[in-house]
Amino acid sequence: MTRYEEQRRFLKSNFNEFKHIKTDKIKGLAQPPIVKLVDSKSSLIIDLPKVSKDVVCKENIFDCIDQRRSTRFYSEENLSLNELSYLLWATQGITGMNKNGLTLRTVPCSGATHTFETYLIIMRVEGIQQGIYRYLPVEHKLSFMFELAELEQKIDAITLDQPFVPNFAKKASVLFAWSTTPYRSEWKYDISAHKKILIDVGHVCQNLYLSSESIGAGACAIGIYDQKLIDEILELDGEEEFIIYLGAVGKKRK
């Protein structure tokens, strides 16, 4: 098999094979937690403002879709905490529960497995100190993880070799970094989980693009990054949980 053929297999549906597999769910193994837990006693938890439409300046969905572009140049203006709250809700906010106790969110997801956690590298958000945070979707709060020394140099090192605008990510207000915990999907979908996870995360980033557009900000997806470095910086084990996609956001230049 050529390299291409081998990789293309991943893009195809393997449901006929999957049908015959006894998944961990069928075997009766315990379902993994639907979100990563946080120790609220030892962590600094930050309330996010209630999500409000007031932050939206471009309400028309047609205009948001039509005018969205990957944005790699940003203004000096910071994002407000209200705007960050809105972007987090738009990308991973919980809007319901299904009958199996799984979360339903602003983005679709295969089998409502929602394998993602949202880490934020915050550079310029009003009222929030620079550093690393994690979104807690159930509570709609932020967990402050730690400050990061030499933040800008670290972002350059993570988002290496950018093809269009070198080193743009550090100039954003916030860098979203989505991790996946594949077992949340593997438990149910076994060998079919992995293709689904990649499709799922595309929906998340598209909502980041459109919600950013609606508040006068611009987003840029980032698929070129140093896997090992970002996992190490965010203290992820790189096997059970690892980063799969990034998105930079900042206010647009007028």
Ligand X SMILES: Cc1cc2nc3c(=O)[nH]c(=O)nc-3n(C[C@H](O)[C@H](O)[C@H](O)COP(=O)(O)O)c2cc1C
Site residues (vs ligand X, CB under 6 A): 69-70, 72, 162, 164, 220-224
In terms of CB distance, is 43 or 162 closer to ligand X?
162
Shortest distance in whole angstroms from residue 221 CB to ligand X: 4
Shortest distance in whole angstroms from residue 230 CB to ligand X: 13
- Closest by CA to 221, choosing from 234, 203, 209, is 209
In terms of CB distance, is 26 or 199 closer to ligand X?
199
Which residue shows structure tokens 């598209």? 206
- Which three-class secondary structure state does DSSP give residue 141? strand
Strand extents, DSSP E, the chain: 44-47, 94-97, 103-105, 116-122, 131-136, 141-146, 174-180, 217-222, 242-251
In terms of CB distance, is 135 or 209 closer to ligand X?
209
Distances (CA, A) of 236 to 21, 116, 154, 177, 239: 29, 13, 16, 12, 8
In terms of CB distance, is 10 or 15 closer to ligand X?
10
Shortest distance in whole angstroms from residue 225 CB to ligand X: 7
Residues 6+ apart with CB under 8 A from 52: 82, 86
Minimal CB distance residue for ligand X: 223
Shortest distance in whole angstroms from residue 75 CB to ligand X: 18
